[in-house]
Structure 1
Amino acid sequence: MGIHNELSQIRVENQSTTKQKAFSIVSAITIGVILGLAAKLVDAQGINPIFDDIGGRLGIWIFVSTLLAVFSYSPKLAAVKVFFFFLSLLTVYYLYTVFILHFVSIREIVFWGMCAVVSPVCAYVMWYARGNGTVSSLVLSLSITALLSEGYQLRDAYLPEHTHYYLIPILMGIYLIMAIVLLFIIPTSRLKFLIILPISILLSFIIIYFNVLGRLFGGLNGVL
């Protein structure tokens, strides 16, 4: 009860009916199916590589799952929604890859499968980002840090054709927009901007300087 009371000080769960919870989960699954199919369809010749490069990296999925988590009725529901979002996303993506394109990469499936497995824990924690106090600001800064860090490192992104490298600044701009959207629509108080932004920039600098993303993912990020 002690921990529950402490967490309630950060954010109080909203009352919801079984029907509302079911609709919320089904909506997350639907979004996952649509985005999973879209991510696969843009991974084709003749499609502007900027779309494939967005869909094949963590940023867009961190952005979407953060929104799904924080705008949930409770942290438990946030965990369930985000897990089913990733499950439906990856199921559609890899079913299409295996049965339509007749291609499979166990290494990629393992990587994104691990992301799906840890997603409920991340979503549970992220739900408190739309709460009160310093803890909520610290939680939200994690998503923004991930976007800023990966967005900055896109300066070295590989695009299939060298003539497309002019798109990298646009790609980086999209990441910046996603970070700004989270920064402005999630905090319950505009004053939190003064806390979240400096923390996010500092953490991003540390991650970039020590190449944390590269050490953790070893080039796998970007191969959905």
Structure 2
Amino acid sequence: MGIHKELSQIRAENQSTTKQKVFSIVCAITIGLILGLAAKLVDAQGINPIFDDIGGRLGIWIFVATLISVFSYSPKLAAVKVFFFFLSLLTVYYLYTVFFLHFVPMKEIIFWGMCAVVSPMCAYVMWYARGNGTVPSLVLSLPITALLSEGYQLRDAYLPEHTHYYLIPILMGIYLIMVIILLFIVPTKRLKFLIILPISIIMSFIIIYFDVLGRLFGGLNGVL
């Protein structure tokens, strides 16, 4: 009870009807289905590799999941919505892979399945990023740190043809745009970015220096 009271001081749940909750969950599922199909369709020869390289990495999905979380009515609903978002996204992506392309990328399915399993806990915490006090700044610094770290490491990104390496600055620019969007639309007070950004930069430096993403994902973060 005490923890719940403290959390409500950071951010109070918005009142919503059952109809509103169901509608928001359906919207999250729909977004997942559309983005899952889009991610699969751009994963084909002849398609500009910039789209495939974005869709096959964690950054874009962290960005979308963060927005779904913070603009939910409650932390519990955020957890449900993000879980169903990833479930629908991965279902349509890998059903297409199995039934139309006739192969089963088991390692990738396990990796992204694990991401879907832990996503509700992350979404629950992320909901408080749009709250009051210092805690929301620390919470929001987490996805921004992930975007900065992965965006910086795109300088070593593999693209199918050497002639496509000119696209890497564009990819890095897209990551920067996602960071800017989160910094300016999530916090309740604009000046909070003066706290969030330095924290994110410091944590990103640590992650990059110790190659945390490489050690955790071992190259799997690049194949949806």
Per the TM alignment, residue 90 of structure 1 is displaced from its structure 2 partner at its CA by 0.1
For residues 150-183 of structure 1, give each alpha carbon's deviation from its aligned partner in whole angstroms, at most 9, with x where no partner exists: 0000000000111100000000000000010000
Equivalent AA in structure 2 for residue 106 of structure 1: M
Other-structure match for 1:112: 112
In structure 2, the residue corresponding to 1:31 is in which secondary structure?
helix
Other-structure match for 1:86: 86
> Within 2, Cα distance between the matches of 1:193 and 1:171?
23
Other-structure match for 2:72: 72
Per the TM alignment, residue 49 of structure 1 is displaced from its structure 2 partner at its CA by 0.3
For residues 169-207 of structure 1, give each alpha carbon's deviation from its aligned partner in whole angstroms, at most 9, with x where no partner exists: 000000000010000000000121111010000000010
Other-structure match for 1:11: 11
> Within 2, Cα distance between the matches of 1:144 and 1:70?
14
> Within 2, Cα distance between the matches of 1:190 and 1:44?
40
Pairing 1:153–2:153 present: yes
Other-structure match for 2:60: 60
TM-score, structure 2 length as denominator? 1.00
Following TM superposition, the consecutive aligned residue runs of length 4 or more in structure 1 with deviations greater than 2 angstroms are none
The correspondence of residues 169-188 of structure 1 with structure 2, limited to 5 A, is: 169-188=169-188
> Within 2, Cα distance between the matches of 1:66 and 1:97?
27
Unaligned runs of 5+ residues in structure 1 are none
The correspondence of residues 170-209 of structure 1 with structure 2, limited to 5 A, is: 170-209=170-209
Equivalent AA in structure 2 for residue 3 of structure 1: I
> Within 2, Cα distance between the matches of 1:147 and 1:80?
23
In structure 1, the residue corresponding to 2:222 is in which secondary structure?
coil
Other-structure match for 1:101: 101
Other-structure match for 2:144: 144
- Structure 1 window deviating more from structure 2 (80-89 vs 192-201): it is 192-201
> Within 2, Cα distance between the matches of 1:85 and 1:190?
28
Unaligned runs of 5+ residues in structure 2 are none
Other-structure match for 2:217: 217
> Within 1, Cα distance between the matches of 2:216 and 2:15?
38
For residues 38-77 of structure 1, give each alpha carbon's deviation from its aligned partner in whole angstroms, at most 9, with x where no partner exists: 0000000100000000000000000000000000000000
> Within 2, Cα distance between the matches of 1:169 and 1:201?
19
> Within 1, Cα distance between the matches of 2:105 and 2:164?
26
Aligned length: 224
Percent identical residues: 90
**Superposition RMSD in Å:** 0.4
> Within 2, Cα distance between the matches of 1:190 and 1:220?
36
Per the TM alignment, residue 104 of structure 1 is displaced from its structure 2 partner at its CA by 1.1
In structure 2, the residue corresponding to 1:133 is in which secondary structure?
coil
TM-score, structure 1 length as denominator? 1.00
Per the TM alignment, residue 22 of structure 1 is displaced from its structure 2 partner at its CA by 0.1
> Within 2, Cα distance between the matches of 1:142 and 1:14?
24
